[in-house]
Amino acid sequence: MEERIYIFDTTLRDGEQSPGCSMNIDEKVRMARQLEQLRVDVIEAGFPIASVGDFEAVNAIAQMIEHCTVAALCRTVRTDIERAWEAIRNAKKPRIHTFIATSDIHLVHKLKKTREQVLSDATAAVRLAKSLCEDVEFSCEDASRSDIDFLCKIVSVAIDEGATIINLPDTVGYAVPEEYGSMFRLVRERVSGIHGVTLSAHCHNDFGLAVANSLAAISNGVRQVECTINGIGERAGNAALEEVVMALRTRKETLGFDTNVNTEEIYKSSRLLSTLTGMNVQRNKAIVGSNAFSHEAGIHQDGMLKSRITYEIMTPQSVGIKHSTLVLGKHSGRHALKQRYAELGYELTNDDLEEVYRTFCAVADQKKDILDDDLIAMLEDRGHTAEEVYQLENIQVFSGTNLRPTATVEIRYHDKRFVDSATGDGPVDAAYKAIERITGITGKLTEYSIKSVTFGHDAIGEVFVRVDFDGVHFNGRAVSTDVITGSAKAYLEALNRAMMAKKRRQEQQSAAKEQPVAV
Ligand code: KIV
Ligand code: ZN
């Protein structure tokens, strides 16, 4: 039976205080709700003395969260501690987290205090915090660069004053795993009261070692890990929660630990944070990057199609991602290509596959990602061209300030003309709604862009759209001096491609049914 590691999430404190990651109160509350869904053990909601906004956010989160402990950060200063307590006193499970730097570098250059003064500040702070709140965490900022004897001394004092959690951060991401682990080992060996408290790791990622250091700390007696969603945080960030949690979950047999995190909420949490802060994760980010479950190399795709355990150490579903993707590009092989066509509803014979694979390789050399629509176009190029089933005859749009945009569209469909009108959020939206009313086909616009292809006030604009029809994406492109006309034409092109693909699929299916069955 594995032991439990407590996950202390500091996305809303250490994460939020880093450049480009600030959130307003409502956004912090939304994020905190998601962290509760994720089932972290502790949410560090902020640093209440820092600003009124910080205080209010911590206070709102403290009142709302049901199951997690809510921690508030404060220096070892009376006013800080009292303010932190005021912010969290109504929480179901409040925690005061007080900290002071312990390395000589910080004492000399930042605090300008002696070790004795720091010791006395820590003693008074933990005592005050404990008189207010049962759950008190004490952190030695820059612990990994602190003198070990002094570190043991201050930890011992904090425990005597009632601290329940002792956190020893690698504040500047300077430690390497063995060293960071051995700091905990030494503290455990030398501080007599240490076994009555929970030891905590808090790592920054300046060398990209934050997760490795956290795991080394766990091997040396740490049972709480402080981390952030997407690894956001000061400078290079903090240990990424998703990486720590998934390493522990996936390698449970080897490491012997697990967390209470609902890992299926990981991706959602990552996405929410990116949306709220506008800070996207890099494509190759472990666990939550868009490439984390994508395979492009032919050998990998072939392996994946035979058995996913060849190239995936955890399932995308286990972190809340629907499925892995085989990205079709110049490294893909026939097997993956055939599979994608099958998913799009086309069963290719070996001859079909050979022919289309040749075109595919030529296109893939020019174009990075090959989309579903490109694949369908490759089939069409072999004698099946898209018919202009729906043709734009006319379009008229009314829009202006204080006027709900209305579009009237006339479409020709097999020599018959149809006219309808609709209103929308903008003139293009109104036009697309009118097209939907006429055709009875609903598409979801997933991409829309306009670029100017000539210059001047009568410039020609090229409209590009990508539309999702029943889960398959089709592109449409049109040029016009009028962007609304161009937008309608581009949409109809995507729609006509979707109709063509559907027709081809139906033809294939009925041909397959008519095949004589061998007896
Ligand atoms: O990195 C650090 O030392 C901190 C402490 C305030 C816990 O964030
Ligand atoms: Zn930190």
Please report which confidence band the pLDDT of residue 431 belongs to, taking 50, 70 and 90 as the band edges.
very high
Instruction: Write out pLDDT tens, residues 264-275.
Output: 999 999 999 999
How much is the mean pLDDT over the chain? 91
Distances (CA, A) of 46 to 12, 57, 352, 375: 6, 7, 60, 50
Give the side-chain half-sphere CA count within 13 A for 75. 10
CA 136, 74, 33, 86 torsion-angle sign: positive
In the chain, domain spans = 6-277, 294-379, 390-505
More confident position, 460 or 345: 345
d(CA 481, CA 40): 54
Could you tell me the pTM of the whole model?
Answer: 0.74
Ligand 1 atom nearest to CA at 172: 1
Instruction: Write out pLDDT tens, residues 174-188.
Output: 999 999 999 999 999
- Residue-wise burial string across 428-452, b where 16 or more C-beta atoms lie within 10 A, e elsewhere: bbbbbbbbbebbeeebebeebeeee
Task: Record the tokens describing residue 78, joined without a space.
Answer: 């009376």
Phi, psi of 171 (to 5 degrees): -55, -35
Q: What's the residue count for the chain?
A: 519
Contact criterion met (CB below 8 Å) for 227 and 10: yes
CB-based contacts of 517, cutoff 8 Å, min separation 6: none
Fold (topology level) of 6-277: TIM Barrel (3.20.20)
CATH number of 294-379: 1.10.238
d(CA 101, CA 78): 16
Please tell me the predicted confidence (pLDDT) of residue 385: 45
Instruction: Write out pLDDT tens, residues 213-259.
Output: 999 999 999 999 999 999 999 999 999 999 999 999 999 999 999 99
Residue owning the nearest CA to atom 8 of ligand 1: 14
Distances (CA, A) of 320 to 34, 230, 266: 13, 15, 6
CATH number of 390-505: 3.30.160.270
Give the side-chain half-sphere CA count within 13 A for 507. 8
Same fold, 6-277 and 294-379: no
**Coarse DSSP helix, strand, coil percentages of the chain, rounded to the nearest 5 percent:** 50, 20, 30
Pocket of ligand 1 (CB under 6 A): 14, 99, 139, 141, 167, 169, 171, 202, 204
Please report which confidence band the pLDDT of residue 382 belongs to, taking 50, 70 and 90 as the band edges.
low
Among 249, 247, 204, CA closest to 228: 204
Helix (H) or strand (E) holding 473: strand 472-480
Most informative mutation of 11, 139, 225, 235 for ligand 1 (most atoms within 8 A of CB): 139
Distances (CA, A) of 69 to 6, 7, 27, 126, 456: 11, 11, 19, 18, 61
Compute, in angstroms, the gap from residue 138 CA to the centroid of ligand 2: 13
Mean pLDDT of 393-399: 93
Distances (CA, A) of 369 to 226, 291, 306, 375, 501: 38, 13, 23, 11, 20
